[in-house]
Amino acid sequence: MQFSFTDDQNMIRDSAREFMSERCGSQQLRHDLESAENFDPSLWQTITQELGWAGLSLPESVGGSGLGMVELAIVLEEQGRCLYGGPLLASVGLASAILLECPQAEAREAVLARLASGEATAALAITGDRGLAGLDAIDMTLHEEQGGLRLDGVASFVLNGHVADVFVVAAKDQRAGRSGYAVVAVDTTVSGLRVEKKLAMDTTRPYARLTFESVRDVVLLAADVDGRTIERGVQVAQVALAAEQLGAMQAVLDLTTSYVSQRVQFGRVIGSFQAIKHRLADMMVICEAARSAVYYAACVVDEYRADPVTHAQELAEAAALVKVHCSAGFHDVAGNAIQLHGGIGFTWEYDAQLFFKRARATYNLLGAPVVHREHIARLMGLDDDKEVA
């Protein structure tokens, strides 16, 4: 695939890289680790109010910029370089991906407008305690009671859930005469909802566990939702996550290259040793393969949104492919970085360990690579029982 950015996309990339490198460096990251939010709220206001990144890929009808997944991927890649812990990925990359798959309705538009303006942030609640991906992960149920709605269940591994203003929840629709799934919005202040911030390996960006006990203040966004609609939204979210992983793996490669160019052992810079060069070359190949996969998948998302019927199958393939490349690739690159740094690689004073922890945390988010390899095999028909001649 031959891919090159347009002039406008290059401008977005350059401005995002300059801003993130100046405002979200290592010192700021470590400062954020000590805060309750795990990010700087004033910086988030700049991102949403001045730069408009919260509405970058949202429709103009809700106050967004009306750009595509490629532009959002560019920004998320730059965010990944700095391990930014703010809710951009959770709100715009994950929650909005599900919202945009729902049929257009007044309630959905109202939520998207709040996200586009930066007035609110959203978190996607779709995964239960088992940590599975896809429809099998949904442990929430929607019931009808006394003419209203009642939401029950548990959602775990909710990215940035501890700071979200609204939760986008996919639930099994168990109301009389209904089938399939429902997508609802729940404000974090409603009665019956308990939000627990969980200690995770990746301290740069926490997860939350949500418990819904007869929650009645529910805004129904879409009913009788087909399982494929939920799956398509998750597939778009996988592309967004992969873009962030790409930025992080490139950053840790740059960090490691810089380190081995300065570290001296046996009277030589260790980067001059052939074995080290080979390891760095392997890491670079992984990064470049991931880059191709990310921007191919981002283009597919934009084509899918323009023509869902024609490009639905291509989206499923591209999303699985990019999740395998970026989750496994980031994990390998970050692991190699730890080894090339030696014993200090996992000490608190060096950033290499922060990248490794982010790699490990995102490895299973929205499905581990093994799950998506199996999905690719099914899409290719390799799970058929037909005998091969």
Q: What does DSSP assign to residue 149?
A: E
Q: Which amino acid is at 68?
A: G
β-pair type (122-125, 193-198): unpaired
Express the helix, strand and coil content of the chain in percent, nearest 5 each.
55, 15, 30
pLDDT at 389: 40
Query: Strands (DSSP E) along 45-139, which ranges?
Result: 122-125
pLDDT at 224: 87
Main-chain dihedrals φ then ψ at residue 370, nearest 5 degrees = -60, -35
Q: Which helix (H) or strand (E) holds 143?
A: strand 140-145
pLDDT at 2: 61
Residue 223's CB: how many other CB atoms inside 10 A?
18
Q: Along the 389 residues of the chain, how does pLDDT read in single tens digits? A: 567 899 999 999 999 999 999 999 889 999 998 888 889 999 999 999 999 999 999 999 999 999 999 999 999 999 999 999 999 999 999 999 999 999 999 999 999 999 999 999 999 999 988 888 778 889 999 999 887 899 999 999 999 999 999 999 999 999 887 888 999 999 999 999 999 999 888 989 999 999 999 999 999 999 988 899 999 999 999 999 999 999 999 999 999 999 999 988 888 988 889 999 999 999 999 999 999 999 999 999 999 999 999 999 999 999 999 999 999 999 999 999 999 998 888 898 899 999 999 999 999 999 999 999 998 998 888 876 554 44
pLDDT at 270: 87
pLDDT at 136: 82
pLDDT at 1: 53
Do the Cβ atoms of 128 and 137 come closer than 8 Å? yes
Nearest to 203 by CA among 87, 21, 38: 38
Cα separation, 149 vs 336, whole angstroms: 50
* Domains of the chain, each with CATH number or no CATH: 7-120 (1.10.540.10), 124-225 (2.40.110.10), 227-379 (1.20.140.10)
Cα separation, 242 vs 386, whole angstroms: 34
pLDDT at 12: 96
Cα separation, 109 vs 177, whole angstroms: 26
Nearest to 370 by CA among 315, 333, 331: 331
Residue 27's CB: how many other CB atoms inside 10 A?
8
pLDDT at 211: 97
Beta bridge partners of 213: none
pLDDT at 386: 52
Q: Which helix (H) or strand (E) holds 204?
A: none
Q: What does DSSP assign to residue 35?
A: S
Three-state SS at 78: helix
pLDDT at 131: 83
Q: Which residue has the tokens 């393969």?
A: 289
